[in-house]
Structure 1
């Protein structure tokens, strides 16, 4: 049977993905290395304002959300555990990051290239699953000539892939497909192409958040069904398809209770998949993994040997704050500890921890606090040869205050003038305040970035630069706060409601995959976070009780 015939059959039987429009997936637009300039890459602008506030929580529109590359991979490994160790993974390229997060539904579309990648992925998995030994072990009836074996095949994998029971029509179509193909070949060949058709079906590749209700007229409200709720819980908080416990709750109707959904969300957040979901938010929002591919001219090999450990340090720090201490935003921004191995601690000038593995270290007084003192953040927002108050200030400006900057005009030079015995701050101030047009933008974030100047381009503490005492005084123009040094800056940010509103809004957008570009989807959970009543994990879990989690409104 040719691939052309397969595509025709898939289109007739299951709805081929290539018929769902949109641009083909391509490489991730987020750079992994900073160019040698003091003007960062173009901003990533979310489709909605994360800082918008409403009196009550809103409800987004019905959505079909394509699974991310990672979610497809984990789904197939969960449904087909027999391929572990032999399957190289999905063939899709990296998910686009055009709106801040790679799980945003507006960017996760299927075009011709993605459809081809999904078809090849399905063929890879189906080929492994229908080898004689594997097929006989998973479906003993395959070698017995049992007339109902095709139905057993569809029943075994259809509900797992679709994350709900198949309808009778769906089951009949897939059984008919198997019979048609096997009639021209053999049972195993029919099984292979039946699996291919189910794996690349939109019901497998997309998360349904459509619900049922009166109709699709503007203003109609549709309630998600139990299996849609189970999938939304499992992928939002666990990054994988629903497990048996969650599917059992869907069948029993237990997920209608908000308290049950919150408890399930908290359970899923504690799983390895839940840890990965949380880590992905921080990784994508703060882009601290950029440091792993960077170089520092004046540090050389010493930096190259620890830059990977810097990424691990930040991941462990996030886990410590959120999972070990049930921390909130204040803890995240002002914690006086980090987790580093002996070589990284020595690189920072800290006392070496006991043992050879990463350990909890209390930071020396005056050597930084919280997430913004992490080497991955400080070095990752620096230039190859010097620190960058502009890039560091923009990290706070965009990621903690949710402000949007204008890109520099075409042709403007972003190179600093020669050092000539001056500090980086002096050079930055000369370039960015000399021209009124430059100052109109840079005055919004450079004063924030100056608070990090006690740290060089590699994230190491310094008192002097070019033989001159470092001036780390600055301000947060958006709040009016004044500070001296990173620690005072971090505490000012932790005390700012603007920061809490921004970060909670970003986490809500991430959890809801953009929410169909509707604002204010998690106001109840957000208020509890703003009031200091819950930590970050509890805030995330509380999103499972918001109206948007169970309802959709046609717009």
Structure 2
């Protein structure tokens, strides 16, 4: 039974504007412009984390395991255009029912009444406590009245445990649980800049850093009206950045930013790449996962070290593939010095294989990867009249020669003039990420150039490019922008330039370029806590 038609926009907005809490409404705003107010659906990760805040130790199979996968915009699944399709609505109903059954038992002490307490008084106390956690804000009397009516209806002819289950099902399928609001206090005039409510600020900060709701300390700061202070917001941001939840969230960012979330589905032609196997795929992915986690947990999320580290964490299979001697037993991961032709994550076999073709390398894919992901430059699609089918491998030419002939069409030159020199610089690695100096008996030419704001920078080989990018101001500008898109769940607009300036200044303040510092710059910005209300229709 679907208890709430949470995907009906009118019902959603009525629920959303009921947020309450201490507010700076009426005080002069710190900014004269801001992004628009909005209501956004939680992602699957945010849903799971929100459930765990209400029902700790909930088994994963009870949550979003079977939910439809999320689409991506600008490479990120955290965007605010996520919808509730008919399929997802049914899946949420099933999850809410399962969660309610599990929660009824886990929360028995909360809804069970002693003989000397009226049942409705006990039920109201239970509802207020659970709904406040689930809705991430103080509940209104209207919220409580609706849920109490649901309790009373379910109680007819049944026991209190059944009523508790029905109430929990209603909470977990309601708009107030499934959607996050950034609306400010109720009653603001149209087309004005308003400050978010304290609980909205707490939620925005927590979700940006941990993909989950505010914890007890952050909620206490919201209740005390302390989150108006950028120093206070920074204090909580840095505290949360040290938690496993933040490191897991940042790991997801790095994966989506670099476009390597689909590695489990990677396939290669075994006749061309005999080293490729299911075991190789596991080893190469494990290497990249361990290296990213090391950077996040031990190196404070240093982007420079992510790009130009002279070591990795790999097993013996990857050590032999890289041409070095393993220092660890078979099947275990250990710190491995990289040979000079490799540097950082861009030369991981898993990344190089991702940005390659089934049977060869791909200068175009690798060049576009750098342009789009690390330099934040859009590459327009080719004209409809141009064939985008890559040239077939041949035995009398190198990949560089084949692709150069393919992309020399004058119609393509505008894009490929900057794209190809980057991709050709990766030609010292084949389509599986194996280093090479020859291809088809011919010498490999891995010379390239990358266009930066400071001018064209020549390089030879992917490791040299990684070292160039690790000190490039272009990358220093791009990474905070990518993190903004991920954390804020939307693409940038002109009004966000001030917030991006704050993020970039904080990011660059430390020579290591730490991801957490960019997030601190985000939450400190006054533009983070302000929104502009909608204009009247």
Give TM-score, length-normalised by structure 2.
Answer: 0.87
Shift of residue 494, structure 1, vs aligned partner: 2.6
SS in 2 for 1:141: coil
Aligned-residue Cα RMSD (Å) equals 2.5
Asked if residue 78 in structure 1 is aligned to residue 53 in structure 2, the reply is: yes
Structure 1 equivalent of residue 224 of structure 2:
252
Structure 2 equivalent of residue 495 of structure 1:
471
Shift of residue 472, structure 1, vs aligned partner: 0.4
Which one of the candidate residues 311, 321, 346 is aligned to 1:337?
Answer: 311
Q: Matches of 1:86 and 1:401 in 2, distance apart?
A: 39
Aligned 1:37-76 pairs, distance under 5 A: 59-76=34-51
Would the alpha carbon gap of residues 418 and 308 (structure 1) be closer, same or farther in structure 2, given more than 3 Å must change? Answer: closer
Asked if residue 547 in structure 1 is aligned to residue 532 in structure 2, the reply is: no
Q: Matches of 2:439 and 2:391 in 1, distance apart?
A: 16
Shift of residue 179, structure 1, vs aligned partner: 0.7
Q: Matches of 2:152 and 2:114 in 1, distance apart?
A: 13
Would the alpha carbon gap of residues 455 and 58 (structure 1) be closer, same or farther in structure 2, given more than 3 Å must change? Answer: farther
Q: Matches of 2:425 and 2:102 in 1, distance apart?
A: 56
Aligned 1:142-221 pairs, distance under 5 A: 146-147=118-119, 148-212=121-185, 215-218=188-191, 220-221=192-193
Asked if residue 318 in structure 1 is aligned to residue 292 in structure 2, the reply is: yes
Asked if residue 286 in structure 1 is aligned to residue 253 in structure 2, the reply is: no
- Whether the 8 Å CA contact 1:119–1:200 is kept in 2: the answer is yes
Structure 2 equivalent of residue 524 of structure 1:
502
Shift of residue 98, structure 1, vs aligned partner: 2.9
Aligned 1:89-128 pairs, distance under 5 A: 89=64, 91-105=66-80, 107-128=81-102
- Whether the 8 Å CA contact 2:322–2:339 is kept in 1: the answer is no
Would the alpha carbon gap of residues 543 and 376 (structure 1) be closer, same or farther in structure 2, given more than 3 Å must change? Answer: same
Shift of residue 158, structure 1, vs aligned partner: 0.7
Structure 1 equivalent of residue 460 of structure 2:
484
Q: Which runs of 5+ in 1 are unaligned?
A: 11-15, 22-55
- Whether the 8 Å CA contact 2:185–2:197 is kept in 1: the answer is yes
Which whole-Å deviations, capped at 9, do the CAs of 1:447-469 have from their partners, x for residues lacking one?
A: 10111111111111111111111
Which one of the candidate residues 8, 17, 20 is aligned to 2:9?
Answer: 20
Q: Matches of 1:73 and 1:260 in 2, distance apart?
A: 27
Structure 2 equivalent of residue 510 of structure 1:
486
Structure 1 equivalent of residue 401 of structure 2:
426
Bigger relative CO (Cα 8 Å, ≥ 6 apart): 1
- Whether the 8 Å CA contact 1:543–1:549 is kept in 2: the answer is yes
Which one of the candidate residues 211, 220, 231 is aligned to 1:239?
Answer: 211
Would the alpha carbon gap of residues 388 and 259 (structure 1) be closer, same or farther in structure 2, given more than 3 Å must change? Answer: same
Shift of residue 88, structure 1, vs aligned partner: 5.5
Q: Matches of 1:88 and 1:466 in 2, distance apart?
A: 52
Would the alpha carbon gap of residues 277 and 120 (structure 1) be closer, same or farther in structure 2, given more than 3 Å must change? Answer: same
Would the alpha carbon gap of residues 83 and 137 (structure 1) be closer, same or farther in structure 2, given more than 3 Å must change? Answer: farther
Which whole-Å deviations, capped at 9, do the CAs of 1:43-75 have from their partners, x for residues lacking one?
A: xxxxxxxxxxxxx99632112121101111221
Structure 2 equivalent of residue 32 of structure 1:
none
Would the alpha carbon gap of residues 512 and 431 (structure 1) be closer, same or farther in structure 2, given more than 3 Å must change? Answer: same
Which whole-Å deviations, capped at 9, do the CAs of 1:85-138 have from their partners, x for residues lacking one?
A: 762545431112133311111x2223433333222221111122235xx45445
Q: Matches of 2:482 and 2:69 in 1, distance apart?
A: 21
- Whether the 8 Å CA contact 1:341–1:358 is kept in 2: the answer is yes
Give TM-score, length-normalised by structure 1.
Answer: 0.84
Which one of the candidate residues 350, 354, 365 is aligned to 1:391?
Answer: 365
Please identify, of 416-425 and 65-74, the stretch whose mean Cα deviation from structure 2 is larger: 416-425
Shift of residue 82, structure 1, vs aligned partner: 5.7
Shift of residue 326, structure 1, vs aligned partner: 2.9
SS in 2 for 1:475: strand
Would the alpha carbon gap of residues 100 and 302 (structure 1) be closer, same or farther in structure 2, given more than 3 Å must change? Answer: closer
- Whether the 8 Å CA contact 1:82–1:129 is kept in 2: the answer is no
Q: Matches of 1:99 and 1:399 in 2, distance apart?
A: 9
- Number of matched residues? 504
Q: Matches of 2:249 and 2:276 in 1, distance apart?
A: 32
Q: Matches of 2:401 and 2:148 in 1, distance apart?
A: 73
Structure 1 equivalent of residue 433 of structure 2:
459
Q: Matches of 1:86 and 1:404 in 2, distance apart?
A: 39
- Whether the 8 Å CA contact 2:506–2:521 is kept in 1: the answer is no
